[in-house]
Amino acid sequence: MLKTAGAAAITGVSGCLSGQNRPKGVTLAPPDNYKNLKEADLPYPVYGEKLPEVTVPGVVSDRPVTTTDFVGERHLLLTFVYTRCEGICLNLGQNLVQVQARAAEAGFTDDIALGAITFDPEHDTPERLKSWGAERGFDYDLGNCYLMRPKSERRARAVVEDTFGEAYKHEEGAKMPFLHTGLIFLVNDEGVVERAYAGDPPKPTTVIEDVEALVGV
């Protein structure tokens, strides 16, 4: 957990661009901290790396969602939350909500998918997770929002921490019972990570600018 928190400081300016050479399969220019990203032993995929393939039950359309479902069709903005969180998760969710709203306004709804995976499935029932999304402002009628819930605590740990590198720690009895990294991935329609925002959530304007650059708006 401490290792991941330290690594988050390296990736905190992921929205800034530089003129360094791009890895194969990416559209956005590298972030200013790309040299540090390459040298750091980070537990999650960063710029130019493939997003892992994982299948998780969905709660919006009541069907499994696989991360590679979007390859060849849509870019993906993916994060990890739990509904009892009154801190960082609100900002993580707001980034996705504002990107969805901007996409609808600018006419690129079909080009971007918004995904969030809970790591608290015992508490976050499908109904509660869907209500949480609606309260945040997700428009399910647009058809590009995917809220996902692993079937067990063990599966949540395997997906969220072991596969995607979103470290979290359970604190029994706390009002907000999880401490976690706070990751958002921006993944292109080839399944390659263009941005890994970690630590303090980025400003929605930063993420929107990156999404628009990726879409070509």
Q: Label residue 152 left, alpha or beta by phi (over 0 means left) and psi (-120 to 50 means alpha).
A: beta
**Bridge partners for 168 per DSSP:** 180
Q: Side chain identity at 68, as an amino acid letter?
A: T
Q: CB of 79 within 8 A of CB of 96?
A: yes
CB 76 within 8 A of CB 67: yes
Would you say 145 is a known binding-site residue? no
Task: Report d(CA 11, CA 112) in Å as an integer.
Answer: 23
CB atoms within 10 A of CB 153: 13
CB 165 within 8 A of CB 4: yes
- The SS3 of residue 84 is coil
Binding residues for Cu cation: 85, 89
Binding residues: 85, 89
